[in-house]
Amino acid sequence: MLAGVIEVRGLTKRYRSRVAVDALTVTIEPGRVTGFLGPNGSGKTTTMRCILGLTRPTAGTATVLGRPYRELARPMRRVGALIDPRARHPGRTAYAHLLCLAQSNALPWARVDEVIELVGLEPVADDRVGGFSLGMAQRLGIAAALLGDPDVLLLDEPVNGLDPEGIRWVRELLRLLADEGRTVLVSSHLMSEMEDTADHLVVLGRGRLLADVPMADLLGAHAAVRVRSPQAPLLASALQRAGGSVELEIDGALRVEGLDPEAVGDVAFATGARVHELSRITASLEAAYLELTGDDVEYRAVAR
């Protein structure tokens, strides 16, 4: 068995009339950052809470390192989790908060100082956490997740509330952790947050799995070629004969899917159509994501 794998099998969680997670089956592999994406209310947090044994699934199973989370001895040494930046008592100091968590898993005291330094909270270590900003609370949560130096990390919306410097810091940290061979599952409802971070994407919509793909594939699947020619109608029909699907852009250029730039150039040459522009369009991840989740947004503003 691979080290540090999360296995979710047929996971379903139903709350009265609402299905939060619907027969979700997915495996999270080690050594890469897996982005866990979906609109608000798509079941990301519920899934993570089921993995951590905080929420009992209606059906299905979730295991970490081959066992249900609740059966792990000293779980913080195996799995680090950031579930909610508010998962702390506001009256405790940052140091006391991390100390009581470290003690519960018999982790060395020195680890507390190490993680405080790692997340940059030294100046406020002895302040009560109730006065922390959301960004500081997130750093405290990340510090708690890292306490046990775990092989598996589950972070629910870790960059929420962080400033740009903090966001970059989290990205670099996640990259570093994955490169060390750890399993990193990080959720977000914003694709842009994943663009430079994740290697692999798991996309949820209304509790169902919409995609489980490498980042590169998702981008490739939505790539297209843009070509501009004074003889657009002639070129368009030639491209269609060659197997491409062609759309006319607003500025008169053609957007071609299904053919690579070399093929488009060859077709234009053979047709005798003059080419004024020929370029590859990498689909923005945001667009690919919207396309995937478009039908599955649970809460949508309605124009009145």
Partner 1 sequence: MPFRSVVVSEWTKLRSVRSTWWCTALYLLVVGAGGWFGAAITESAPEPYLAVGSALTGFGFGQIVLVVLAVLAVTGEFRTGMVLASFASVPRRGRLLLAKTVVVGAWCVLLSSALALFCWFAATRLTAVEGGIPLTDPGVLRQLGVQVAAATLTGVLALGLGALLRSSAGALGVALGVLFLLHPLLAISETSAGDRIGRFVPALRVGEDAFLAVQTPWQTGLLVLASWAAAAWVLGVVLLERRDV
The CA-to-CA distance between both ends of the chain, in Å, stands at: 54
Instruction: Indicate the helix (H) or strand (E) that contains 118.
Output: helix 110-119
Q: How far is the CB of 51 from partner 1 (least distance, A)?
A: 10
Q: Which residues bind partner 1 (CB under 8 A)?
A: 49, 52-56, 69-76, 81, 83-84, 86-93, 96-97, 99-106, 144
Name which of 50 and 215 has its Cβ closer to partner 1.
50
Candidates 286, 287, 292; CA nearest to 203 is: 292
Q: How far is the CB of 119 from partner 1 (least distance, A)?
A: 15
Q: How far is the CB of 107 from partner 1 (least distance, A)?
A: 9
Q: How far is the CB of 39 from partner 1 (least distance, A)?
A: 22
DSSP state of 128: B
Name which of 121 and 235 has its Cβ closer to partner 1.
121
CA distance 137 to 297: 29
Name which of 92 and 189 has its Cβ closer to partner 1.
92
DSSP-derived secondary structure for 75-107: GGGTEEEE--TT-S-TTSBHHHHHHHHHHHTT-
Beta pairing partners, 257: 245
Q: How far is the CB of 29 from partner 1 (least distance, A)?
A: 22
Name which of 59 and 221 has its Cβ closer to partner 1.
59
Name which of 90 and 214 has its Cβ closer to partner 1.
90
Candidates 154, 196, 206, 143; CA nearest to 28 is: 154
